[in-house]
Chains A and B, each alone.
Chain A
């Protein structure tokens, strides 16, 4: 069974949650990330996601394994969209099941936080103004922000 996936098709949480069912589990926590119509004061009309799929899938599965190991949950899964998305579309789904609720909430939070910062997935926002930009590359760079995640590798001299 695949635990982390990148999908070019719309996501169905009712189908996805079936992956988490387990008779030993008493709780299921899910997170849905939706496409929002605004970002940092800009009106957003639509989004595009692009992924470096082979590495994103490998890293996504590492995140899920870490969540299971760290919080002792029974199952964890995540699906991320790629391609063109409209306002309100489901962009990412995370689900966790476990015997008790506390570890499921913590593991779900861990997965979405790590997915956002570690996986090679990029988001291009198309604004109502007609402009567009790759988030964290162009828009924030233009404002002098640096959202580079895990910039721990030594840069070249």
Chain B
């Protein structure tokens, strides 16, 4: 059974995906699988080793279980300050 996941894109990923957010129907069990799908779909260029992941506004690991309705953000290398 697939989950409905809300994905938000920032900075480089917003430009590469051509959108700020979208809702995807996916069988991805965790952020790692979801990222692989989005690389395929949008041509996101960054290696997962360089990213962090947030689910529902909290940092999580790549193996965290995704649930229906989750809000996921893949975080490119940051550059504040």
Q: Which residues of A contact B (CB under 8 A)?
A: 33, 49-52, 54-56, 58, 80, 91-92, 112, 115-124, 134-138, 140-141, 146-151, 153-157
Contacts and interface: CB of A to CB of B under 8 A. Distances in A.
Interface of B: 8, 10-12, 14, 30-33, 35-36, 45-54, 57-63, 73, 75-81
Contacts of B33: 156
Given A137-B12, A141-B46, A118 B53 contact: no
B57 A138 contact: no
A119 B53 contact: no
Nearest to B71: A54
A137 B46 contact: yes
Given A153-B52, A157-B32, A148 B80 contact: no
B81 A55 contact: no
A151 B11 CA distance: 18
Interface of B is mostly: mixed
B32 A52 contact: no
A120 B28 CA distance: 24
Contacts of B12: 122, 134, 137-138
B73 A55 contact: yes
A52 to B, nearest CB: 5
B50 A52 contact: no
Q: Pick the most buried of B35, B50, B73: most chain A CB atoms within 10 A of its CB.
A: B50
B80 A154 contact: no
Contacts of B45: 141
A117 B78 contact: yes
Contacts of A118: 78
B76 to A, nearest CB: 5
Given A52-B10, A155-B62, A58 B57 contact: yes
A121 B81 CA distance: 8
A153 B77 contact: no
A120 B73 contact: yes
A136 B78 contact: yes
B57 A149 contact: no
Contacts of B73: 52, 55, 120
Contacts of A112: 81
Contact of A120 (B46, B48, B54): B54
